[in-house]
Structure formats: structure tokens, C-alpha cells
């Protein structure tokens, strides 16, 4: 984003500010569809649940991954005007509840729409049987997420060696298994994780077929359609040395075409970060400039309890720039709260922070950080009574 636009928006709206560029979201969606043509895109609302973002992706034809009843309702509010049959079709075809752990009261509500749900244990299956018996199920398996910045295998997924036993128990409970899901971890830099996972899914399908455990309910051309949900984790170029999505998508395409016939398998993905990260630019103002310290220290009106929370919870690296010109010099950069954790440079508590270099700044000068559209406002707080950054949308 150009500095002139940043300056104008900051003057109009004040700071802290998060600018969301919807043309960038559209570009990301089109790239994903182009490079993974067999994949139905389910935007992971958890990355950024702003209703305007949901609306933009809805217009593009995106499907959606929700992780709570509240996220479901954010989407439902934008489609509830549909006729009952169209609404039911939308919820079945365009929504997946991809959190393998669900509250019973949420399942009661969701059962009205015969939802598509993930699970990874016999206990969750029995809960779904009791509270949402009309649901279709995706069995989530555990796969390697080595090389990914944020890992999930410690918490979710059944070991593939135990999958057949759980499939057997699910079928005995007369529940419909639509397919298999996995997640290679967020910011996955190891294409081999996807390759191994896809081969594991194909092996589970073969074992299920051999034992007569039908997976997939909808029959097309004489075959039940199995669903393979490859999760998300497609890397964003924060530093520039991350795995190329072009290369990753080519590897995924080759493997899915080899393993899964088009007429028998429907492929889904749940990208969040990939669609919105580079659409967000955080803008903050200097509220105190200490030139008496060595190096100089700048306190700005946004920090790790707000938009920069992604440094803590999402482990993203940041690169802060100044709107004004000048020779960059080493400095220390702090957020606005009274906690020492609220440090954006060389933070001993946050492993991915390093030195920051900015020109001489004074009170009121603007700084900005790009690639801040994902997992930023999502985890922002009101610590010290300081509200999150104002969100401004452009190119709607």
C-alpha cells in the first residue's frame, strides 16, 4: 500500500488503524482457484471474522469454514434471506464446521441444517449422534506438521492406525461418514506433509472399501462421492523465504490427480491466512519519542495486546516502516500498554522479534506494517482499557 493512502486514511480516521484492501482479497481468491482448480475453497473465518470480508468472499462464490456457533451466525446473517430450500443447500454445500470439539448446545442448533462436521474421537462421535444425528461427518486424522509455524497435531486428529476402528464404530452408530480431513499446520513450509497426508487418506479409503465401510453418501455416476479436506496452512510470504505457493500447489495437484479420480472424490481446503494476510496494513502513531535513550525508544499506539497480537499467538515476523523518509537507525519499539511484554523489538518473550530500524521519529509520526490481515484483530484485546484498532475497508 502506498504511503500517500496510508497518510490520508490516518488523517481521516485516526490511529491505530487496520486497513483492509478487498481487491487484494479478490486477487488471492482468484490465485487459489487458479492454482488449485479441483479444490473447493472454504474460507477459515477464524483468520479474520470481519463481516465485510465474509461478504466479499461470499460474492466470489467462496465456501466457509466455521469453528463456533458465533462464526456460523456471522455467515448465517448474510444468507438468512434465502428461501428455505436454498438456505439448506447453502449450509450443506458451503459450510463446514471444522472444529473437532463442539458444545452440545451448538450441535442442537446446527442439526436443523444437517451440517457437515469434523470429529476425531469416539467420544465426539457419540456426542454428535446424541445432539446432531442428521450431520454428515469428516474424520480428522493426525498427520505430520513438522516445518509448520503453528502446529495442530498435538491437539487434533486421530492416529491413522486407529482410523479404521473409529470408522467401524461410527458406521455401527448409523452415522454418515462423508470423508477424511487433515491439517498440515499453519504456514506449512514442507510440501511433503501434504503428500504423505494425501497418501494416508487414499490408504484409509482403500481399507474402508475392502471392509465394506462405505464413505460418502451422495452417489454420482454409480459411485459414492468421498470428500477429502486438505485443510489450510498455505504459506504467506512474510519474510520472502517461505515455501512458494506456486510450487506447493503443483505438488498437491499432481498427487490428488494421481490418487483421487475426479468422479469419485470432492476436494476441499480451508485457507484463512492465505486469503487475508497481505490484505491488511496496520498503521500506528508515535505517542512518545525518547531520543535520550540509546538507542532511541518509540512508543506507538498499537502493540502486542492489539493488532500485533499475531506476534505472540501466531508467531508472525513483523517489519515496521515509517511513513516519513530519512536514514533508518536502530531503535526500540514499544506498544502503548503498561506491560513490558508489549515490546515490538528484540522481545525476550517472543522468539521471532529482532532489531528495528526506523528514521528519527517524533510524536505524531506514522509507522505501518504490512501483511497484518490474518490473526491480528482476531486476537486483539481491550487490555488497559485500550480498544482494538479501527478497521477501514478500501476497494470494496
In angstroms, rounded to a whole number, what is the distance separating the alpha carbons of residues 329 and 360? Answer: 7
Give the residue-averaged pLDDT of 320-338.
Answer: 96
CB 186 within 8 A of CB 233: yes
Structure-block grid coordinates of residue 6: 496510508
Q: Over 70: is that where the pLDDT of 349 sits?
A: yes
How many Å apart are CA 102 and CA 338, to the nearest integer?
Answer: 36
Of 316, 301, 349, 369, the residue nearest 47 (C-alpha): 316
Place of cell 448474510: 78
C-alpha cell at 346: 528484540
pLDDT in tens, 8-64: 999 999 999 999 999 999 999 999 999 999 999 999 999 999 999 999 999 999 999
CATH architecture of 22-276: Alpha-Beta Barrel (3.20)
Q: Give the pLDDT confidence of 15-30 residue by residue, as tens digits.
A: 999 999 999 999 999 9
- Asked whether the beta carbons of 19 and 281 are under 8 A apart, the reply is yes
- pLDDT at residue 175 tops 80: yes
pLDDT of residue 219 exceeding 60, the answer is no
Cell numbers 510524536: residue: 363
pTM strictly above 0.85? yes
Length of the chain (residues): 396
Question: 375 pLDDT band (50/70/90 cuts)?
Answer: very high
Q: By the 8 A CB rule, do 225 and 262 touch?
A: no
Q: Is the pLDDT of residue 396 over 90?
A: yes
Please state the rounded mean pLDDT for residues 220-228: 71
For 362, the 3-state DSSP assignment is coil
Tell me the fold of 3-17+277-394: Lyase, Ornithine Decarboxylase; Chain A, domain 1 (2.40.37)
Judged against a pLDDT cut of 90, whether residue 150 lies above it is answered with no
Sorted by where each begins, the domain ranges of the chain are 3-17+277-394, 22-276
In the prediction, which pLDDT does 221 show?
47
Q: Read off the pLDDT band of 385 (50, 70, 90).
A: very high
What DSSP letter does each residue of 273-287 carry, written as one string?
A: HHHHGGGEEEEEEEE
379-384 contacts at long range (C-beta below 8 A, 24 or more positions apart): 379/309, 379/310, 379/312, 379/313, 379/314, 380/305, 380/306, 380/307, 380/309, 381/305, 381/306, 381/309, 383/305, 383/306, 383/337, 383/339, 384/305, 384/336, 384/337, 384/338, 384/339
The grid cell for 125 is 462421535
More confident position, 364 or 216: 364
Secondary structure class of 137 (helix, strand, coil): strand
- Can you list the alpha helix ranges (DSSP code H) found in the chain? 3-13, 22-35, 51-60, 69-79, 84-94, 104-110, 122-131, 163-172, 191-211, 245-259, 273-276, 310-313
Separation of alpha carbons 67 and 72, rounded Å: 8
Category of 371 on φ-ψ map: left (φ > 0), alpha (ψ -120 to 50) or beta: left
Amino acid at each position: 500500500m502506498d504511503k500517500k493512502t496510508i497518510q490520508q486514511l490516518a488523517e481521516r480516521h485516526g490511529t491505530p488503524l487496520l486497513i483492509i484492501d478487498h481487491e487484494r482479497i479478490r486477487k488471492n481468491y482468484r490465485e487459489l482457484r487458479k492454482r488449485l482448480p479441483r479444490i473447493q475453497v472454504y474460507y477459515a473465518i477464524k483468520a479474520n471474522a470481519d463481516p465485510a470480508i465474509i461478504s466479499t468472499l461470499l460474492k466470489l462464490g467462496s465456501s466457509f469454514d466455521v469453528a463456533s456457533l458465533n462464526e456460523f451466525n456471522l455467515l448465517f446473517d448474510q444468507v438468512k434471506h434465502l428461501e428455505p430450500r436454498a438456505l439448506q443447500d447453502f449450509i450443506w454445500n458451503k459450510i463446514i464446521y471444522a472444529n473437532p470439539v463442539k458444545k452440545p448446545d451448538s450441535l442442537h442448533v446446527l442439526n436443523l441444517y444437517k451440517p457437515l462436521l469434523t470429529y476425531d474421537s469416539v467420544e465426539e462421535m457419540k456426542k454428535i449422534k446424541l445432539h446432531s444425528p442428521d450431520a454428515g461427518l469428516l474424520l480428522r486424522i493426525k498427520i505430520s506438521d513438522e516445518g509448520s509455524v503453528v502446529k495442530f497435531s498435538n491437539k487434533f486428529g486421530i492416529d491413522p492406525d486407529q482410523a479404521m476402528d473409529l470408522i467401524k464404530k461410527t458406521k455401527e452408530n448409523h452415522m454418515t461418514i462423508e470423508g477424511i480431513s487433515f491439517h498440515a499446520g499453519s504456514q506449512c513450509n514442507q510440501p511433503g506433509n501434504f503428500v504423505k497426508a494425501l497418501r494416508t487418506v487414499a490408504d484409509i479409503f482403500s481399507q474402508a472399501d475392502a471392509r465394506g465401510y462405505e464413505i460418502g453418501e451422495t452417489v454420482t455416476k454409480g459411485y459414492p462421492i468421498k470428500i477429502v479436506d486438505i485443510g489450510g496452512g498455505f504459506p504467506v510470504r512474510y519474510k520472502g523465504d517461505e515455501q512458494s505457493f506456486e510450487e506447493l500447489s503443483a505438488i498437491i495437484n499432481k498427487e490428488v490427480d494421481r490418487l483421487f479420480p475426479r468422479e469419485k472424490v470432492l476436494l476441499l481446503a480451508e485457507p484463512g491466512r492465505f486469503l487475508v494476510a497481505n490484505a491488511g496494513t496496520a498503521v500506528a502513531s508515535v505517542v512518545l519519542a525518547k531520543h535520550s535513550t540509546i538507542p532511541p525508544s518509540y512508543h506507538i499506539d498499537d502493540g502486542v495486546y492489539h493488532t500485533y497480537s499475531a506476534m505472540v499467538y501466531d508467531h508472525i515476523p513483523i517489519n515496521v516502516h515509517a511513513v516519513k523518509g530519512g536514514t533508518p537507525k536502530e531503535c526500540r519499539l514499544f506498544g502503548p500498554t503498561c506491560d513490558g511484554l508489549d515490546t515490538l523489538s528484540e522481545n525476550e518473550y517472543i522468539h521471532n522479534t529482532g532489531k528495528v530500524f526506523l528514521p528519527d521519529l517524533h510524536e505524531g509520526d506514522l509507522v505501518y506494517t504490512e501483511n497484518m490481515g490474518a490473526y491480528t484483530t482476531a486476537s486483539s484485546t481491550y487490555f488497559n482499557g485500550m480498544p482494538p484498532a479501527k478497521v477501514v475497508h478500501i476497494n470494496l
